[in-house]
Structure 1
Amino acid sequence: MTDTQDELPQLMSHQSFREQAREVIRGMIVSGKMAPDALYSAPKIASDLNVSATPVREALLDLVQEGLLRPVRNRGFQVVIMTAKEHDDVFKIRLLLEVPSIREIAKSSPTANQMKGLYDLANAARQFAREGDLIAYLNADRRFHISLIELLGNKPLTELVASLRDRVRLLGLANSGARSHIVQSATEHFELLDRIAASDTESAAAIIERHLRRSRDVWGAGSGPA
């Protein structure tokens, strides 16, 4: 990770180093900054993050469990390679899960406090998108979508959606469309929240379906084996 060391944030004590390392490394994976054909070691990443190797190693093992990394015995870790077919299959599952979930969320009429929290997350994501900070945007975008699903109070569903969201990004974001895509996606978050706040179930469902389908066309576009 030598080439990207300057892009990594200094980890802070308000959150466990393991959790923060996991978030940073996940961002590097899904943004395509960690290459599938490269090996990454806990000591090297820990040095780049200026923390001890133990929380980084734990974070790497967490990401193995999430299906984003695979261990290479006595050598380190590699990013999992996902085929275009696997990528498409996961997106189809996401449509089956997230579209009806958003419809149900809009129907349930979230509280004012819940909506405020979601708008705050959307604002953070939009700010990172405008600044062109891809990794920060991806982490904020992940928190936004997971927080939405959490409104249903179904922990297994939330965990599954989180895992699938990460896996579809294993092919990486096409660099040519990265900036415009994240800005447009950040704007759509507000459209989605407005429809949820209005309890407009069908419009909310239509927005998330459009959001997902457009994302499918951008993530991994033109890359990865069939």
Structure 2
Amino acid sequence: MKKVIFGGTFDPIHNGHIHIAYEALYNLEIDEIIFMPAGQPPHKSNKRVTGGKIRYEMVLKAIEGEERFSVSDYEIKNKGLSYTYNTLIHFNKIEPDTEWFFLVGVDSLMALKTWMNIDIILDNCTLVVFSRSGFLEKNVLEMKARLEAEYNTNIIFLQMPLLDISSTTIKEKIAQHKVVNYLLPYKVERMINKYNLYRDKV
């Protein structure tokens, strides 16, 4: 079995996330994509983040109907900050025969040296990096090569058509009372309205 863990705050999950998941599913011939909403992401400790249960429910609604998509509440249930190396150790222990991949954007690749226990992360998965706007491919490939050499690993650069959507932009539009239904799944928008989310300025 080949499975991808797709980590993120997902605050909120949007069509860009779904697009990335499908590209990984088809290009890497993956059996399952596991969305992993972060519990308390250390890089966002100074930012306001919607409660984990609500973000988990939004992901659940967004992926309904796709048998190869699932969502895990592992990080949300854990107390303290959410660190990727702990998540990967956990999943490798419960499914040691699964080939694990971890999906991140190029922004995470460029900042990977600031992550805790990079060696453990790269020992427990194959890192898959998807392109994002604002980064030169030349710089991304140089960083990829440096990390591969330093940690004796293989990193997959997943080139795909970009859907330039961000959770921050969606929240800003909602605060400005603008239409966002073209940016995220219908059921996610319903949840945002149900819980009256993102009405304040970001």
TM-score (norm: length of structure 2): 0.29
Larger radius of gyration: 1
Higher helix share: 1
Structure 1 or 2: larger strand share? Answer: 2
What TM-score, normalized by structure 1, do the two folds share? 0.27
